[in-house]
Structures are given as C-alpha cells and as structure tokens.
C-alpha cells in the first residue's frame, strides 16, 4: 500500500525523521536533503548582515519584456545606492523554471525541459548583463542547492504538523500557476477564437477545472498572525494602498493552500520528499529562492551572513498576493524572520493598453537597450516608470527626456563648465573651495548655495532610503536644472577679468565652483542610474575614484578634483550626451 510521506506517518516517526535532518550538535553534519552542503556546527562569530535586495525570479517560458527590465533596473538602483553609502550590498535575481506552463512550453518546443530552461535562463542572464545589473546571485530553481533547501523546508513544515492531504477541487490557471475559488472566476468569450472560457477575474488568465488529491498548507492558521504583523509594520508594503488591499484580503479569511500537484499531471518540478506521486507547488518552490541564495539552511552563527532577512523584495503588482500573504506565512511557519520591506511597482502599458504577446503589443528590451544604450534606458525607466500607477511606454517620451534633460541640461552644463577656455575648474576649486560657509551667507551665489546645494543631497538620500528611486531621479534632475538656471542667470562669460589664463576673477570663480560642485554631486548621485555615463562625467570633472561615494556628496567635501582624467575632446566628439541623429 502506498504511504503518503510524513503527513500520514505517526508524529514520533516524523520527529525521528526531522531529527535526522537537523543533525547532531556535536560534530559536522550533512543534511540528508542538502547532500552537497556540510556545515560545521560549532558556534562561530556572528557576521555583520549585508544589505540584501531581490527581484522576483522570472519564468523562462516566454521572452523577457520591458516589465522584467524595469524590475531589474529598480532593484539595481536601490542596491547601488547602498553601495554608494558604503554598505556591503547583495542583489539576487534569477529564473523560475518549474511548473505546468514551463512543462507545456518545453513540450510545445519539442525540447527536454532542462535544455529549454537552460536556454531561457541564459536569455535573462544576457538581459541583466546588457542592462548593467550588478547582481551577486543568479538563482535557478533547477539548481541542486535550491532543490535541497526547498525539500528541507518541506520536512520542517511537516514536522510542525502544518501539511496534510485532502482532495482539492477548483479552477486552476496554468499561466498564473494558481488556484482560484468560484467567486474569483468568470465566463469569458475569447474574441480571436470565439471560444467560451473561464478566466480569473484578477488576472484575466484562462482557468481549467481541476479535481485531485494533494498536500495542503494550513494557511488559515496564520490569519491572525499576519494581521498582527501588518498592524505592527504599517509601511511593510510600498505603496500604502497595496498594503490596505492585502490587509482586506486577509481579513476576509484565508483558505488552506494546495501546495502540490499529482506528478502524473506535473512532472517538471521538485518532487515531494518521500512521495514521488506528488510535485511541489511552484510558488512554494519559487519563493524559497530568496532564502536559498542567503544560505538557507544556515549553520549556527551564519544566519545573517548571506543577508537574510531581505531588506527589500522588489516585485510587480501582479504577484502581491504570493509575496505578501503566502510568503510571510511560509516564513512564520518555518520560524524565519520576514523581509523588512516589499516594494511593489505598477506595470508598463503600450499605447495605453496592457502589453500582451498574443496581440504583439510588447516592447523587446534588447532592442530598446541597443537603440538608446543601457544608461539612457535605465534613466528613462526610473524617471517615467510607475510605482503607484501604470506608465505608458513610448519612444517619443524617451527621445524627449534625452533631448530636454540629458542633452540640453546635464550634458550641456558639463560641457560648458569643463570646457570653458577662460576659466579653470581646478583653479576655481583651489581658490574658492577653502572659503568657510560664512562666506556664503549673502552675496553672489548665496541663494543657490543655501537653497539648493546645501540641502538637495539629503533630500535625495531621503527618497532613496524610502525606496523611491523615481522621486530621487526627479530631484537630481531638479538639481541639474537649477544649476543651469544659476549659471545662465549669473553669466560668468560676461564677467571675466583680463588677469591671465585661468584666472577670471573671484566672481567668475565662485560661479564656476558652485556649478562644478553641483555637477560633482549630481555625478555621484547618478551612479546608481547611469553607471557608465556617471563615471565618464566624474572622470571629466577629475573626481578621484575613492571620492565618488555619498560620504563626499556635500559642498566642500572634496577639494581635490578639477583636473580631467580623460581627454575632453571637442564639444561634439567628446560630449557626454551627443545630439541624437535625426530619424527620417
């Protein structure tokens, strides 16, 4: 007779099995699931926790789109900000390679699932590299260490009596890899085919009726614990209106969650330990990736070394339920700390309508990166992308941002200040930089010094720390525009005194110095958005590599720059942002 694993075994047997997993405290041990991991169990000094930020892992059954790129860019910007502040920071991204839709996509392509996933994972790795994503981990759910960690977590859940078997009936979406109750589906007429199909009200994905016996997780047991956590951490989900939606869903009640599917239907996935007839639910498998790459299961004294708990999960608004209800419940069940923040962003539309591969309304991120370059695309996505509301992707908007800000404002100011033949940035820094702050209480430049330069870096830092890179880039843009206005109104070219080369007089020196300081600080703050362009900009200003952190982002905090580290070239050949070629 078939035995359904630990769920149907006596509790004493379950405890015995769990002990065989948790091992002895007296000697090095090997977890029976974690076959390739050996942890010394003697106590080791607790290491300082690095900042840990993650993207969701992306399905390999379809090509990347601009939404994937947006998530990657937002996450990378926030990671690079922490590095800019002098912190050790880790970024984890990767691919979700199990589940029914991957299984079906591989079958349709006539390829073995693993080969299909290998190809898909490579595409996302290429996208990350092309977009200048500084990820430290690229997790694949087909990795052995990930499979072992998931199996270990399963046994822990069983040992705690949180997993049981029962017959499950409901509407299942292959696209969403999720079950929906009757109240969450509706009849829909598919215009292209004329078929009448049932779809999810929430996502619009087609659902199919499923009746099967499988394992369930006691999600309902965690309703009150989740609500208490939300109450104690009201800013856990950003933006606030999505937090309210999650609270409302949990208050309405939670049903226990089906966490496996019969292997005869779902062959491509992690099998339930000691029950080959069942394959684990893809979302339980996938969500565990965040702790997998943080080193779970941890050796004593190493529980924070890999960064857990995550400081921020960055996700799209379509997967909030999985990350903000299921995931914290799983972590509570495992006795693990919850992530500190979940940043949810809105979607990109095209022509005001939702992007869809079936209609051909998609943006190929590789083509966009080739056309505009990674720095420009990163800046555009961060500046125009929606956190609260959907944003409309448009090439016209990219070109407008380039022409109006990057070329006309930032590039023009850099060129004007660094290429001035009648003044010297280095000379202005040497002569004006040492002046005390009291020199700027009144007089020429005092308003710009006190109302813009003195407080703008802290305002931008506040936006970054609030996980709001959109507001931060807009404040940086304001800084650059204000600097342009200051220079234009001050007219240093009309105030040059005929003393000698590079010595235009104190008034001109003051103008050049304040403009150079604004550019130096803007260059430091733009590094998370445009790593290559910001580096070139700081090279043109002559800022030393060791002085490009936020520590030096203040007026007068670096007086050793001003001599270019690169050939500035001519106005057009060496321009930071050359004019875009006209498109006939």
CB-CB contact of 46 with 304 (8 Å) = yes
How confident is the model over 29-39, as pLDDT tens digits?
Answer: 344 444 444 44
| Domain annotation covers residue 251 | yes
CATH number at residue 526: 1.10.730.10
Is 92 in a helix, a strand, or coil?
strand
* Total number of domains in the chain: 2
* HEC profile of 253-315: CCCCEECEEECCCCCCCCEECCEEEEEECHHHHHHCHHHHCCCCCCCCCCCCCCCCCCCEEEE
Indicate the pLDDT class of residue 268, thresholds 50, 70 and 90: very high
| Domain annotation covers residue 557 | no
Pair 362, 434 in one domain: no
**In Å, how far are 8, 33, 448, 525 from 11, measured between CA atoms?**
9, 20, 72, 57
Find the farthest-apart pair of alpha carbons in the chain and give their distance in angstroms, rounded. 101
- In angstroms, rounded to a whole number, what is the distance separating the alpha carbons of residues 460 and 473? 8
Residue 316 has pLDDT above 80, yes or no: yes
Residue 13 has pLDDT above 70, yes or no: no
Residue 208: exposure state from Cβ atoms within 10 A (0-12, 13-18, ≥19): exposed
Pick the more confident residue, 39 or 419. 419
CB-CB contact of 211 with 168 (8 Å) = yes
Residue 185 has pLDDT above 80, yes or no: no
Residue 290 has pLDDT above 90, yes or no: yes
Pair 325, 462 in one domain: no
- Residue 489: what pLDDT? 96
Count how many residues are written for the chain. 584
Residue 496 has pLDDT above 70, yes or no: yes
- Residue 14: what pLDDT? 35
Indicate the pLDDT class of residue 207, thresholds 50, 70 and 90: confident
Pair 364, 412 in one domain: no
Residue 494 has pLDDT above 70, yes or no: yes
Beta strands in 421-493 (DSSP E): none
How confident is the model over 378-408, as pLDDT tens digits?
Answer: 999 999 999 999 999 999 999 999 999 999 9
pLDDT, average across residues 557-584: 83
pLDDT, average across residues 443-462: 94
Is 206 in a helix, a strand, or coil?
strand
- Residue 453: what pLDDT? 96
Pick the more confident residue, 22 or 261. 261
What percentage of the chain has pLDDT greater than the value 70? 86
CB within 8 A of 545, min separation 6: which ones?
none
- In angstroms, rounded to a whole number, what is the distance separating the alpha carbons of residues 341 and 237? 6
- In angstroms, rounded to a whole number, what is the distance separating the alpha carbons of residues 452 and 446? 10
| Domain annotation covers residue 419 | yes
Whose CA is closest to 231, among 246, 215, 211? Answer: 246
Indicate the pLDDT class of residue 358, thresholds 50, 70 and 90: low
- Residue 34: what pLDDT? 44
- Residue 33: what pLDDT? 43
Pair 359, 403 in one domain: no
Residue 572 has pLDDT above 80, yes or no: no
- Residue 8: what pLDDT? 37
Indicate the pLDDT class of residue 48, thresholds 50, 70 and 90: confident
pTM of the model: 0.87
Pair 398, 362 in one domain: no
The whole domain housing 525 covers: 394-552
Element spanning 378, H or E: helix 374-384
Residue 289 has pLDDT above 80, yes or no: yes
| Domain annotation covers residue 38 | no
Within 13 A of 90's CA, how many CA atoms are on the CB side? Answer: 23
- Residue 357: what pLDDT? 63
| Domain annotation covers residue 21 | no
Residue at a domain's end among 369, 404, 437 = 369
| Domain annotation covers residue 389 | no
Pair 215, 310 in one domain: yes
CATH number at residue 154: 3.40.50.620
How confident is the model over 243-267, as pLDDT tens digits?
Answer: 999 999 999 999 999 999 999 989 9
In the sheet that 271-272 helps form, which strands lie side by side, from edge to edge?
260-262, 275-280, 271-272
- Residue 500: what pLDDT? 64
Pair 512, 546 in one domain: yes
Indicate the pLDDT class of residue 195, thresholds 50, 70 and 90: confident
| Domain annotation covers residue 17 | no
Least-confidence region, from 319-328, 460-469, 523-532, 560-569: 560-569
Pair 325, 452 in one domain: no
- Residue 60: what pLDDT? 96
- Residue 171: what pLDDT? 74
Sign (positive or negative) of CA dihedral 413, 414, 416, 420: positive
Phi, psi angles (nearest 5°) of residue 275: -150, 85
Is 361 in a helix, a strand, or coil?
strand
- Residue 28: what pLDDT? 35
């Amino acid at each position: 007779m078939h035995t359904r694993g630990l769920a149907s075994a006596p509790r004493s047997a379950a405890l015995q099995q769990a002990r065989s997993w948790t091992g002895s405290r007296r000697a090095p041990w090997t977890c029976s699931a974690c076959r390739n991991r050996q942890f010394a169990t003697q106590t080791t000094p607790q290491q300082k926790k690095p900042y840990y930020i993650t993207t969701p892992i992306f399905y390999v059954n379809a090509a990347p789109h601009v939404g994937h790129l947006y998530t990657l860019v937002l996450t990378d910007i926030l990671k690079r900000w922490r590095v800019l502040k002098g912190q050790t920071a880790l970024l984890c991204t990767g691919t979700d390679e199990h589940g029914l839709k991957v299984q079906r996509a591989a079958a349709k392509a006539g390829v073995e699932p693993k080969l299909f996933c290998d190809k898909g994972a490579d595409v996302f790795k290429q996208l990350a590299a092309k977009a200048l994503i500084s990820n430290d981990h690229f997790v694949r759910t087909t990795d052995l260490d990930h499979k072992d960690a998931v199996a270990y977590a399963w046994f822990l859940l069983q040992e705690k009596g949180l997993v049981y078997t029962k017959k499950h009936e409901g509407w299942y979406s292959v696209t969403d890899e999720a079950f929906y109750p009757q109240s969450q589906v509706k009849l829909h007429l598919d215009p292209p085919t004329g078929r009448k199909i049932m779809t999810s009200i929430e996502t619009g994905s087609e659902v199919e009726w499923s009746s099967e016996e499988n394992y369930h997780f006691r999600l309902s047991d965690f309703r009150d614990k989740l609500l208490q956590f939300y109450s104690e951490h009201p800013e856990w989900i950003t933006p606030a209106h999505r937090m309210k939606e999650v609270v409302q869903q949990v208050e309405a009640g939670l049903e226990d969650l089906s966490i496996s599917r019969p292997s005869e239907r779902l062959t491509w996935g992690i099998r339930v330990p000691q029950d080959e007839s069942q394959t684990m639910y893809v979302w339980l498998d996938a969500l565990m990736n965040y702790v997998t790459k943080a080193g779970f299961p941890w050796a004593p004294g190493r529980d924070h070394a890999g960064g857990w708990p995550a400081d921020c999960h960055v996700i799209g608004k379509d997967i909030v339920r999985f990350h903000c209800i299921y995931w914290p419940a799983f972590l509570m069940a495992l006795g693990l700390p919850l992530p500190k923040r979940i940043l949810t962003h809105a979607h990109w539309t095209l022509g005001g309508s939702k992007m869809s591969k079936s209609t051909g309304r998609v943006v190929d991120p590789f083509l966009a990166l080739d056309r505009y370059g990674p720095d420009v695309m990163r800046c555009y996505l961060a500046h125009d992308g929606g956190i609260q509301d959907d944003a409309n992707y448009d090439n016209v908007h990219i070109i407008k941002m380039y022409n109006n800000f990057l070329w006309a404002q930032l590039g023009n100011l850099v060129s004007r200040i660094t290429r001035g033949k009648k003044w010297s940035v280095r000379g202005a820094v040497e002569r004006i930089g040492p002046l005390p702050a009291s020199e700027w209480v009144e007089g020429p430049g005092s308003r710009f010094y006190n109302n813009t330069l003195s407080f703008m870096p802290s305002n931008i830092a506040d936006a970054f720390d609030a996980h709001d890179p959109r507001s931060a880039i807009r404040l940086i843009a304001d800084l650059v525009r204000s600097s342009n206005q200051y220079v234009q109104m001050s007219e240093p070219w009309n105030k040059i005194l005929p003393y000698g080369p590079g010595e235009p007089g104190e008034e001109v020196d003051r103008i050049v110095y304040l403009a150079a300081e604004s550019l130096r600080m803007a260059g430091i703050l733009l590094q998370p958005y445009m790593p290559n362009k910001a580096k070139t900009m700081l090279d043109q200003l002559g800022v030393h590599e060791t002085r490009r952190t936020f520590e030096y982002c203040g007026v007068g905090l670096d007086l050793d720059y001003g001599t270019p580290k690169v050939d500035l070239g001519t106005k057009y050949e060496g321009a930071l942002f050359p004019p875009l070629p006209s498109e006939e």
